[in-house]
Structure 1
């Protein structure tokens, strides 16, 4: 259960980072680098998400619930 919650939290954080990057792209005119920071955070969160999903499938905590695979 905690794995699915962690995946959901990471997805929400990725969306927040996406919109903060969009905001910095539109409003940041002084070149402070906040857009690059938002992109770096989003890439880090995405790598964590992919790793967490891969670990979930490898450990058996996440499984396919499709009827044609059983």
Structure 2
């Protein structure tokens, strides 16, 4: 569920970026329209929420690295016996 929420926030960030670009092109030179700034505020809010979700996921252990070449931390005294 957490990974799904992260993907949704990433898609929302991309959509907000696109709408900000659209408003920037449409509202050129008009000082009364602040849609570009509102889009920026939405994008910053979404980025903060996304960062919070990622930090929560890593802290709770729901998100982590699962690289096949990385066996994780090695307990003290059990170093690898590889020789060159």
TM-score normalised by the chain length of structure 2 = 0.77
Report the equivalent of 2:9. 10
Report the equivalent of 2:39. 38
Q: Which runs of 5+ in 1 are unaligned?
A: none
Larger radius of gyration: 2
Q: Which runs of 5+ in 2 are unaligned?
A: 73-84
Q: How does 1:1-70 map to 2 (within 5 A)?
A: 2-29=1-28, 30-31=30-31, 32-66=33-67, 67-70=69-72
Bigger relative contact order, structure 1 or 2 (CA pairs below 8 A, ≥6 apart): 1
- Distance across 2 between alignment mates of 1:69 and 1:28: 53
How many pairs does the alignment contain? 69
TM-score normalised by the chain length of structure 1 = 0.92
